[in-house]
Amino acid sequence: MMLVGRKLLPSHQSHLSIIFPKRYLIDQPFYKLRPPFSKSNYDIKDIYENEKLLADYSSALKFYTQSAEKGNPIAQFCMGYLHLCRIISEDYSLKDSFKYFKLSADQGNIDAQYFLGQFYNRKMGLPEKLSTLDRRKLFFQYNKLSADQGNPKSQYLVGECYEHGKGVSKDLSNALKYYNLSADQGYFCGQFAIGEMYEFGKGAVPEDLSKAFEYYKLSADQGHKYAQENIGFFYYLGKGGVPKDSSEAFKYFKLAADQGLKIAQFQVGIFYQHSKGGVPQDYSEALKYYKLSADQRYPMALHSLGDCYYNGIGVPKDSSEAFKYYKLSGEQGDEAKKRLKNVSSNKNKAS
């Protein structure tokens, strides 16, 4: 039987008996969803009574299938995961994946509850058509079941549901409760959400920029791109009593920029153009980051590209390109309007 779509870990090519007891060490599935790998409610030994039977892939698959059909919730979760990752068949069977996740989730499996929530949220493999409201309610319902068993990802998602009234009545007190549960387990999305609540003083949370910085930093250092951008501004502007530090600001802006955030990309361009924070002046790098940001239609980056072509910064002077970018920027500000008018006037004279 050929493995397709996803590869197993090299040392586990034919030993699902090794993979699953180590908390489902299969490659992550679609859209970068990562299993929470939290403690299961069921004894893993229930599935592994006969190691010889699980010595090869086909025997293991047969065993999981039989165990799932007999109602073992861990086997059901594993079958759902295998269908999701297209390891069982070349056919991308989301309906089979949904079926097994639901069987497992309805028996209380914490991981299956989390995954089933994603299926409802993304309209994947559903056996019947549901309204947006019904899907949101089920997304909330299954994530809350998982959250109340300690899953930090579901705790964050439940907090988000309460904050925005998604599938449940808006309740900022409960949003804070679940965000805190998630953040206390070190989940970077939960930490970011708490940071936002402190930065903007949401609900009963008082505005506290030093607390916001603390939570953003925890999240940023785990790779959360929006937290990285926020930390960049804290250092750049000296927000919340944080000492200004252009070097640290550049570090976090670049981390966020390299994950595709347009404002951070623009900021990195500024650092390279004007040699801020000890960053060596590099017009080609400035142009690179301005263009990355401009490609996402960030007005200030479009304006800065117009300036580069207008003044010949890192590129030959080019009034046509300057005109193009000034116009795309929406003619921001009096100076941009003036330059756009000058460039337009020069173009008319040339013609």
Domain interval for residue 48: 1-127
For residue 343, the model assigns a pLDDT of 58
Q: CB–CB of 79/109 below 8 Å?
A: no
Q: Is residue 47 part of a domain?
A: yes
Q: Does residue 163 belong to any structural domain of this protein?
A: no
What is the C-alpha separation between 81 and 75, in angstroms, rounded?
A: 10
Within a 10 A sphere around the Cβ of 50, how many other Cβ atoms?
11
Structural domain contains residue 118: yes
pLDDT tens per residue, the chain (351 residues)? 222 223 333 333 333 333 333 333 333 333 333 333 333 333 334 444 444 444 455 666 777 788 899 998 888 988 888 787 665 555 557 899 999 999 999 999 998 999 999 999 999 899 999 999 999 999 999 999 999 999 999 999 999 999 999 999 999 999 999 999 999 999 999 999 999 999 999 988 999 999 999 999 999 999 999 999 999 999 999 999 999 999 999 999 999 999 999 999 999 999 999 999 899 999 999 999 999 999 999 999 999 999 999 999 999 999 889 888 988 887 545 555 666 566 555 555 544
- Please count the structural domains in the chain: 1
User: Is residue 25 a part of any domain in this protein?
Assistant: yes
Q: Whole-model pTM?
A: 0.79
Task: Return the ∠ at Cα 33 (arms to 32 and 39), rounded to 5°.
Answer: 140
Cβ count near 61 (within 10 Å): 18
Q: How far apart are CA 190 and CA 159, in angstroms?
A: 8
pLDDT, residue 204, reads 87
Would 222 be classed as within a structural domain? no
Residue 34: the pLDDT is 34
How far is Cα 12 from Cα 8, in angstroms, rounded to an integer? 6
pLDDT at 211: 97
Task: Give the pair of three-digit tokens for residue 169.
Answer: 């009545």
| Residue 65 placed within a domain | yes
> Does residue 174 fall inside a structural domain?
no
Q: Would residue 210 count as lying in a domain?
A: no
CA-closest candidate to residue 121, choices 105, 140, 146: 140
